[in-house]
Amino acid sequence: MSESSNSAWWYGVVLFPLAPVFRLVALLGVTAFASTATTEYGVLVAIGAWFLTVIGSWLAILLSGVVLVSLYFDTRTLADGGWSPTRLAVISAGVVHFVAGFLSPLYVVSVPSLLYYSYHRHKAD
C-alpha cells in the first residue's frame, strides 16, 4: 500500500450508504406520523414518529456532509500517489450526494457513483 493511498479520509467516504438509510428512516417516520390518526395511542406514536423523522433527516444531511468533505480531502491525498481520480467528477458526486440529503431521488445518481469510486479506491490500496 503506498503512503499516499493510506488516507484516514477514506473512512469518511465509506459512510456514504448510511445517508440513504437514515433518509429512509426519516421517510418511515413521516409515514408513521401521517397514519397516527387511526391508532389508539395516536399522540405518543406521533411524537415518536416526529423524533424519528427529525433525527433521520439530520443524520442523513450530516453524513452526506461528512462524505463530501472526506471525498475532497481523500482526492487531494490521492493526487500525490499513483491513482488519481478525476477530482471534478468525484467532488461532483459528493455534492450530488449532499444535495440528496435534502432531495432523496438524487441518491439514484450519487450512490452508484460513490460505489464506483469506492471500488476503484479500494483496488488502489
Q: For the segment 81-98, what is each residue's pLDDT rounded down to a tens digit?
A: 767 788 899 999 999 999
φ, ψ for residue 2 (rounded to 5)? -75, 160
Report the C-alpha gap between 85 and 110 in whole angstroms. Answer: 16
Average confidence (pLDDT) over 57-70: 95
Residue 115 is predicted with a pLDDT of 94
- Structure confidence at residue 43 as a pLDDT band (50, 70, 90): confident
For residue 3, pLDDT beyond 70:
no
Other beta carbons less than 10 A from residue 52's beta carbon? 19
pLDDT higher at 69 or 37: 69
34: pLDDT strictly greater than 90: no
Using CA atoms, how far apart are residues 33 and 52, in angstroms rounded to an integer? 9
